[in-house]
Structure 1
Amino acid sequence: MSESLPTEDAGPVRGIQPRALIVTIYGLYAREVGGALSISSLIRLMATIGVDESAVRSSISRLKRRGLLLPEKVGGAAGYALSDRARAILDEGDRRIFERPRAGAGDGWLLAVFSVPESERDKRHQLRSRLSWLGFGTVASGVWIAPVHVEHEARDALASSGLSDYVSLFRAEYVAFRPEPEQVASWWDLDGLERMYEDFVEEYRPVLARWRRRRRDDDATAFADYVRVLTHWRRLPYLDPGLPAGLLPGNWRGSQAADVFFTLHERLAPDAHRYVEASTVTQPGRTA
């Protein structure tokens, strides 16, 4: 995804980079209050997750250089707000992250056929990256495929990225010759995706079990666990094309991973939100 926020860092929790955690915090909470958080509030929240102040400030600098965060006074204190581009990317991601889009049998396919001049190779790279993060698989050079339910998202994403002039989109039906599940397995790396889902389940099933045993609420721990699980989860729906269940391998681990995530989301989100409300300065002030 050519304009993606930092999700590429989000592997198992031990490998999550601070800037990816910061993006999650902004996506969850800053948009509710105008898009800004004070630096002091962000440092306090990140400390709850186990990230020190120097790492927070370094990560903010990187996000600022990428044009994702902009300096802004927050309640009279120094802070940063989401740029318009960052807001658009986060808004675009909400459907993928918090819903379970899945094609039905017989829905059909969306084909993206593109040709980019050699003189614009950077556009070719951007286009392939964008299609990949929209869930497209590769049929052949210049021919990519996705379930038809991504059509509107693909139209909007390609147009907003300035890539629509290079692409033609077609609705299609598969008719021959190899069995469709066999073809699907050649268009997407389903084995690799399933391994990612397995990593997620192994990491967070124990977290879910712990919260099911917990009797007393602990808002700080709920916040830390929720930010971690969402940061790990939020790249997976982009890599998953949302294929019909009949075209997936048996006992698809993506379904188990989704169950773990959405159960934790339901359990942790309210307590985490309460912790943030008690811990942050969020009302934007006028920039000095």
Structure 2
Amino acid sequence: MPDDTESRPGSATSLVRSVIGLYLRRLDGWIASADLIALLEDLGVPAALGRTAIARVKQKKLLVSERNSGAAGYRLGEDAAAMLRAGDRRIFAPRRMAAGDPWCLLSFSIPEHDRALRHQLRRRLRWIGCGTVSPALWICPAFLSGEVEEILDELSLREHSKVFIATDARGAAPLRDSVSTWWDLPRIAALHEGFIAEASGLLSTSPTDGADAFGRYVRGIDSWRPIPYLDPGLGVELLPTHWAGDRSEQLFARLGARLAEPALAHVLARVAPH
């Protein structure tokens, strides 16, 4: 999962994370401080605000300070590469259930003296796209079960929980109606609609140069980045008709096809070799 689920898309801190996730591995995991600040300025982030945002990202251990050939700069933190690879799978290859695919259910009972841990578990389950059947029973597509179990291990909650893989979900109401109570589908649809508005503007004209392509692409990625986490990828038969996610995903693909290569070329030209 992202290192900070509360970073607002479009904020300086969120843009730093997007730049790091998109490009730092392409730069052998290190970037000079001056080059990172320059790239943020290409995104309209003033240098002073950029430095503050970088400091916040360092606090989350996504970046660590390191000098290279005498130049001050930043390297990916120890666990950052694995986190970014997991993020790539979510962001660039979102999955969707097919009819008949299994579900993952998580049941837990956490003692009252650990209620802060219970709150943290629920927050993280919500962030990876889980729905709420009841306060202590959560559900998601089975392809997210690995992420559910990672959260349980990271919070040391195995002894207080049970994970089930189910091939069917039955109740008095049709499954489609139940899904609409387990997930806040209007909120997820609004996220997609917001991205549609953002991406439509970014793609409405051709970029004037490499810096413009870079700025449009990074801002588009930054706007899209939370959506594949909060949208669990439910099957189309379970979603409202004319689901906004379909057009949203198509626009995301168009954004990458048009802007990813010129944006990368701008970064490689901007960043000094080391």
| TM-score, structure 2 normalization | 0.93
Of 190, 206, 213, which residue of structure 2 is paired with 1:195?
A: 190
| Matches for 1:198-209 after TM superposition, within 5 Å | 198-209=193-204
Of 85, 93, 101, which residue of structure 1 is paired with 2:87?
A: 93
Query: Does the 8 Å CA contact 2:117/2:155 hold for their aligned counterparts?
Result: no
Query: Aligned to 1:54, what secondary structure does the other structure show?
Result: helix
Query: Does the 8 Å CA contact 1:6/1:19 hold for their aligned counterparts?
Result: no
Moved more, 122-131 or 154-163: 154-163
Moved more, 257-266 or 57-66: 57-66
| Matches for 1:82-231 after TM superposition, within 5 Å | 82-172=76-166, 173-211=168-206, 218-231=209-222
Alignment match, 1:270: 261
Q: CA deviation at 1:176?
A: 2.4
Report the Cα distance in structure 1 between the residues aligned to 2:133 and 2:220, rounded to whole angstroms: 33
Q: CA deviation at 1:126?
A: 2.0
Of 213, 217, 234, which residue of structure 1 is paired with 2:225?
A: 234
Query: Does the 8 Å CA contact 2:3/2:60 hold for their aligned counterparts?
Result: no
| TM-score, structure 1 normalization | 0.89
Q: CA deviation at 1:239?
A: 0.3
Q: CA deviation at 1:117?
A: 1.5
Evaluate the alpha carbon distance shift between residue 90 and residue 166 of structure 1 in structure 2; reply closer, same or farther with a 3 A threshold. farther
Of 40, 44, 53, which residue of structure 1 is paired with 2:47?
A: 53
Letter in 2 for 1:119: H
Query: Does the 8 Å CA contact 1:181/1:248 hold for their aligned counterparts?
Result: yes
Please, which runs of 5 or more residues in structure 2 have no aligned partner?
none
Evaluate the alpha carbon distance shift between residue 62 and residue 139 of structure 1 in structure 2; reply closer, same or farther with a 3 A threshold. same
Of 11, 14, 18, which residue of structure 2 is paired with 1:17?
A: 11
Moved more, 119-128 or 268-277: 119-128
Query: Does the 8 Å CA contact 1:223/1:273 hold for their aligned counterparts?
Result: yes
Q: CA deviation at 1:23?
A: 0.7
Letter in 2 for 1:188: W
Report the Cα distance in structure 1 between the residues aligned to 2:67 and 2:52, rounded to whole angstroms: 19
Query: Does the 8 Å CA contact 1:38/1:282 hold for their aligned counterparts?
Result: no
Query: Does the 8 Å CA contact 2:15/2:219 hold for their aligned counterparts?
Result: yes
Report the Cα distance in structure 1 between the residues aligned to 2:105 and 2:34, rounded to whole angstroms: 47
Query: Does the 8 Å CA contact 1:184/1:247 hold for their aligned counterparts?
Result: yes
Report the Cα distance in structure 1 between the residues aligned to 2:11 and 2:225, rounded to whole angstroms: 14
Write out per-residue CA displacement over residues 257-282 of structure 1, whole angstroms, 9 at most, x where no aligned residue.
Answer: 11111110111111111111111136
Moved more, 235-244 or 72-81: 72-81
Query: Is residue 43 of structure 1 aligned with residue 28 of structure 2?
Result: no
Q: CA deviation at 1:93?
A: 1.1
Q: CA deviation at 1:7?
A: 5.1
Alignment match, 1:286: none
Q: CA deviation at 1:60?
A: 1.3
Query: Does the 8 Å CA contact 2:129/2:232 hold for their aligned counterparts?
Result: yes
Query: Aligned to 1:8, what secondary structure does the other structure show?
Result: coil
Please, which runs of 5 or more residues in structure 1 have no aligned partner?
284-288
Report the Cα distance in structure 1 between the residues aligned to 2:3 and 2:171, rounded to whole angstroms: 39
Letter in 1 for 2:196: V
Letter in 1 for 2:78: D
Letter in 1 for 2:114: E
Query: Does the 8 Å CA contact 1:75/1:281 hold for their aligned counterparts?
Result: no
Moved more, 267-276 or 122-131: 122-131
Write out per-residue CA displacement over residues 167-208 of structure 1, whole angstroms, 9 at most, x where no aligned residue.
Answer: 311012112220111100000000011111111111221221
Report the Cα distance in structure 1 between the residues aligned to 2:120 and 2:5, rounded to whole angstroms: 17
